[in-house]
């Protein structure tokens, strides 16, 4: 079958991009989406607060906190998508990236522990 080109894709996309249809779909799932967002925001605040408290205990300067919070957010995102060896590989990559950027590997481990509840094995 020959490649259909962009026109077929565009026609499909534009037929689905009806504002009334989109509005209807959003209204159907808005209650579910709002409760899920509320739950996720609460989790984010909980682990970000835990990270800040642990880093304060370790004497980390406030100017470095956003970097460790970003590590925590990346670990959280990885934890929602992966588990087991795949999660471990993702955490290893996150740690390697941020160590290369100058963050303390021990503090990254503390951050992982705040987010995931356990310290990953290396």
Q: Where are the domains of the chain?
A: 6-116
Number of H helices, E strands in the chain: 5, 0
- What are the tens digits of pLDDT across the range 29-65? 999 999 999 999 999 999 999 999 999 999 999 999 9
Nearest to 46 by CA among 76, 67, 81: 76
> Tokens 């992982």 identify what position?
112
- What are the tens digits of pLDDT across the range 92-106? 999 999 999 999 999
DSSP label at residue 119: P
CATH class of 6-116: mainly alpha
CA-based R_g, the chain, Å: 21
d(CA 4, CA 15): 17
pTM: 0.77
């Amino acid at each position: 079958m020959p490649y259909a080109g962009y026109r077929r894709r565009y026609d499909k996309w534009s037929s689905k991009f009806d504002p009334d249809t989109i509005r209807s779909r959003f209204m159907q799932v808005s209650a579910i989406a709002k409760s899920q967002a509320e739950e996720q925001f609460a989790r984010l605040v909980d682990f970000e607060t835990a990270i800040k408290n642990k880093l304060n205990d370790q004497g980390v300067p406030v100017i470095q906190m956003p970097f460790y919070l970003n590590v925590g957010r990346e670990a959280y995102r990885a934890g929602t998508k992966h588990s087991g060896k795949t999660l471990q590989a993702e955490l290893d990559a996150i740690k390697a990236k941020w160590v290369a950027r100058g963050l303390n590997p021990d503090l990254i481990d503390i951050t992982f522990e705040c987010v995931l509840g356990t310290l990953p094995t290396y």
